[in-house]
Amino acid sequence: MSNLIINNLSCIRGYNQLFTDLSFELRPGEILKISGTNGTGKTSLLKIIAGLNSAESGSIFFKNNDINDINNKLGIFYLGHLNALSPELSCIENLNFLLELGTENFNSSYVDALSMVGLNNYENELVANLSAGQKRRVALAALFITPSKLWLLDEPFTSLDSKGIEIVENQIKKHRDSGGLCILTTHQVCSIKNLRELNL
């Protein structure tokens, strides 16, 4: 089973206890929206699940394996609220870097993904020349390529217009409907139905 199981997770940053004894389970075909004011640990939780940060205590299992198993991380896609794009690279080079595929053989799926987020003919454009919204779309284009079952999306709608938000929401719903799992944070109104919600 591709369930994500969080057991008694606690997180401390500096002198602040962000959350303690947090437990939940997410099953294939489910989306979890994490809510809470700034500083409650939403981003920290996603980074811990992604294996980028460590928890103070507790355990995380995905597909019956500890989240820190290197092979398990291949099934997880994390998109932070910052785009993590390199301005010196083109859109398609940045997309390749985000997906960590380590290849220079950019196939048509990369171009198609950029097209799906409204960036037709932008594949060779340097990211330095893009607007904030276009940069976010480059990062979000990875959602149209990644084979990962578990998506961790931190403020995915930041800097997007209404059309961009609709495109991303539809891709998240398609991922859910194909048996994927998704955890997202957002301060914006989300029109996706049948979400589970967790308030930190």
- Largest Cα separation within the chain, whole Å, is 48
Does 105 score more than 60 pLDDT?
Answer: no
Sheet architecture: strand order including 196-199:
76-79, 150-154, 181-185, 31-35, 196-199
CATH fold, domain 28-43+70-199, is Rossmann fold (3.40.50)
* Ranges of each domain in the chain: 28-43+70-199
Question: What pLDDT was estimated at residue 74?
Answer: 64
pTM more than 0.85: yes
Does 100 score more than 60 pLDDT?
Answer: yes
Does 113 score more than 90 pLDDT?
Answer: yes
Question: What pLDDT was estimated at residue 64?
Answer: 86
> What does the alpha-carbon distance between residue 90 and residue 88 come to, in Å, rounded to a whole number?
7
Strands 150-154 and 181-185: parallel
What share of the chain in percent tops pLDDT 90?
62
Does 125 score more than 90 pLDDT?
Answer: yes
